[in-house]
Amino acid sequence: MKQAIKIKENVYWVGVRDLNVRDFHGELYPVEEGATYNAYLVIDDQITLFDTVEEEFCGECIERIESVLDGRSIDNIIVQHAEPDHSGGFKKIYEKYPNAKVYTTKAGVRHMQAQYIEDTPFNELKTGDTLSTGKYSFTFVEMNMIHWPDNMLTYCPELKVVFSNDAFGQHIVNYQMTDENLDKHYCIEQAKEYFANIVMPYTVPVKNKLNQILAMNLDIEMILPAHGIIWKNYVTDIIEAYKDFATLKQSNKVVIVYESVWKHTQQIAESLAEGFAAAGMDVKVYKLSITRSSIVMKELMDAKMVCVGTGTYNNAMAPSVASFLERVKSCKINDKKGLAFGAYGWFRNVPSTLSDKLKEAGFEPAADAIAQNFTPSEGELDNYYKLALEIGKSL
């Protein structure tokens, strides 16, 4: 039987580890070591469950819950987010504990009913509402569009704990549960990757909500997110990192992504990379078709400039490049420079089309698109090097 894991006095992790998942949210977010779906149980005069898990793992979640209930039942279920990785197990858990009161936001009610066609008697919550369960009180904060309209965060002053749901999440699967004994840089980088792939389109609401939460002067000892490890040693560090994430704070970095069959476009990418490096920039170069998209999105988040290259495929750009451009357009990125480049044989228009697509995605052109006919000469490669050197110095 699966056992609940004690996080601190009267607080237990009753979630699951999905060690086999490699595509989180479909193909949107490839992951390496799996994912966790975190649910938490707080024992008090009233017993409160924060979130559930994916439906297929619901039995395991119930086993963990039962391991600490000692014959009691759940009194409150807090639905902080209606997305199925957090709510898929709700119906089965509510069937087992039908006397529980269920709390969620107004948008949460709408989303839960639309997904599960259930006439559950939800109790609507708004920012500032509180719930007392005996020794403990819980204050609720709506987190609209981080990353759904129904997201919510809960704070318990007596426990000094934040139940943050998707905010501050990452995909670290660690059996020790907290960030203790883990490298700080590793933890922050994993949180950055999660932010880039899930939350980046919503930086404005993240920034506004983060400022609101900081203004509340909460005394926080632990942050309990819905995915990944629990923040304990690095609470201050992850909050500071989120300030940078929310503003897409830039470093002196350029990201070069491309697709190439006969290496003509690859040669341009490599010449640009050397030019930017000579200008003192941190340079990241990725061939899109063989690189996890989650890595590219993470590096893109704090770059000053993005260069996108493609060969010409049936008078069009490579499918991986077209898909990448659609994705970054959805992220609503501003204040970054862009440069389109690519090789062609007899149809010249693709690099200029690529440049237009970059502009549509929010990137300001740093120069005209590079259009290379077949194999670049040494002189042409030297020109691309010098162009990157010039742009890099100006940045």
User: For this structure, is 171 an active site residue?
Assistant: no
3-state SS assignment for residue 347: coil
Instruction: Look up the CATH number of the domain holding residue 351.
Output: 3.40.50.360
Query: Tens of pLDDT along the chain (395 residues)?
Result: 899 999 999 999 999 999 999 999 888 899 999 999 999 999 999 999 999 999 999 999 999 999 999 999 999 999 999 999 999 999 999 999 999 999 999 999 999 999 998 889 999 999 999 999 999 999 999 999 988 999 999 999 999 999 999 999 999 999 999 999 999 999 999 999 999 999 999 999 999 999 999 999 999 999 999 999 999 999 999 999 999 999 999 999 999 999 999 999 999 999 999 999 999 999 999 999 999 999 999 999 999 999 999 999 999 999 999 999 999 999 988 899 999 999 999 999 999 999 999 999 999 999 999 999 999 999 999 999 999 999 999 99
**Cβ-Cβ contacts under 8 Å for 236 (sequence gap 6 or more):** none
Query: How far is residue 112's CA from residue 228's CA, in Å, rounded to a whole number?
Result: 24
User: For this structure, is 264 an active site residue?
Assistant: no
Query: How far is residue 105's CA from residue 253's CA, in Å, rounded to a whole number?
Result: 40
Torsion of CA 58, 22, 20, 179, to 10 degrees: -80
User: For this structure, is 194 an active site residue?
Assistant: yes
Q: Do residue 273 and residue 362 come from a single domain?
A: yes
Radius of gyration of the chain (CA): 24
- The residue from 44, 54, 166, 193 that is catalytic is 166
Domain boundary among 224, 246, 268: 246
User: For this structure, is 302 an active site residue?
Assistant: no
Q: For residue 26, what pLDDT is reported?
A: 81
Q: For residue 73, what pLDDT is reported?
A: 98
User: Any bridge partners for residue 223, and if so which?
Assistant: 162, 231
User: For this structure, is 27 an active site residue?
Assistant: no
Q: Do residue 176 and residue 283 come from a single domain?
A: no
Residue 217 DSSP one-character state: T
343 is in which domain, residue-wise? Answer: 254-394
User: For this structure, is 86 an active site residue?
Assistant: no
**Cβ-Cβ contacts under 8 Å for 190 (sequence gap 6 or more):** 170, 171, 172, 228
Q: Residue 156 burial (CB < 10 Å; 0-12/13-18/19+)?
A: buried
Q: Do residue 242 and residue 287 come from a single domain?
A: no
Q: Do residue 241 and residue 271 come from a single domain?
A: no
Q: Do residue 78 and residue 194 come from a single domain?
A: yes
User: How many folded domains does the chain comprise?
Assistant: 2
Q: Do residue 238 and residue 261 come from a single domain?
A: no
User: Any bridge partners for residue 76, and if so which?
Assistant: 48, 101
- The residue from 63, 75, 83, 282 that is catalytic is 83
Q: Do residue 139 and residue 190 come from a single domain?
A: yes
Q: Do residue 234 and residue 261 come from a single domain?
A: no
- The residue from 147, 179, 259, 299 that is catalytic is 147
Q: Say if residue 147 is preceded by a cis peptide, omega within 30 of 0.
A: yes
Q: For residue 333, what pLDDT is reported?
A: 87
Q: For residue 157, what pLDDT is reported?
A: 98
User: For this structure, is 85 an active site residue?
Assistant: yes
Domain boundary among 201, 219, 246: 246
User: For this structure, is 166 an active site residue?
Assistant: yes
- Backbone dihedral angles phi then psi of residue 332, each to the nearest 5 degrees: 55, 50
Q: For residue 287, what pLDDT is reported?
A: 98
